[in-house]
Amino acid sequence: MSSFRQLNYQQCQMLDQWLLTYGVMLNHRTRHEFSDVLPVARLFNKVHPGRVDLNRYVSRNSVAMKASNWRIFNARVLKKMNMGLTSKDEDKLASAVEWVQDALLYRLMMTVEEIADVGQEFWYENNTPKTKKKNQETLM
């Protein structure tokens, strides 16, 4: 379990640019919508297809029910992605605390970049040119 910290200006700008690639613009309306887990689960499903079963979540209006949804989402998805929330963070997300939403979405963005970095390393390892010694052996 980890606790979130507030993002700096540069991190917020990076997050905003990344979210625009998924058609999400953070403003007062979308932040209010993201206090419920369903829109966040949809975004997670776009970023990591198949990771979230969207049929498990129902849109809620009360803060208590939103917090309950966040607890379920935390147990089923976030902990498995090593992004587990504390109960205080779940309550803050349900209450639409702005910087906590930003921190969660930033962490999601970082998972995508980590996967991309691992993929590039894997590609590079498998596509490096063969050494001269091995080439000479194959020519003989």
Please write the tens of the pLDDT for every residue from 30-64: 999 999 999 999 999 999 998 999 998 999 999 99
> Can you spell out the DSSP letters for 53-120?
-GGG-----SHHHHHHHHHHHIIIIITTTT--B-HHHHHHHHTT-HHHHHHHHHHHHHHHHHHHHHHH
Q: Could you give the count of Cα atoms lying within 13 Å of 59 in the half-sphere of its Cβ?
A: 5
pLDDT of residue 117: 56
Q: Name the helix (H) or strand (E) containing 49.
A: none
pLDDT of residue 130: 47
pLDDT tens across the length of the chain (140 residues):
457 788 999 999 999 999 999 999 989 999 999 999 999 999 999 999 989 999 989 999 999 999 999 999 999 999 999 899 999 999 999 999 989 999 999 999 998 877 655 544 443 444 444 444 445 544 44
DSSP 82: T
- Between CA 105 and CA 78 the distance in angstroms is 12
pLDDT of residue 2: 57
pTM for the model: 0.77
57 contacts 73 by C-beta, under 8 angstroms: yes
32 contacts 96 by C-beta, under 8 angstroms: yes
pLDDT of residue 124: 41
pLDDT of residue 79: 93
Backbone angles phi, psi at 85, to 5 degrees: -105, 155
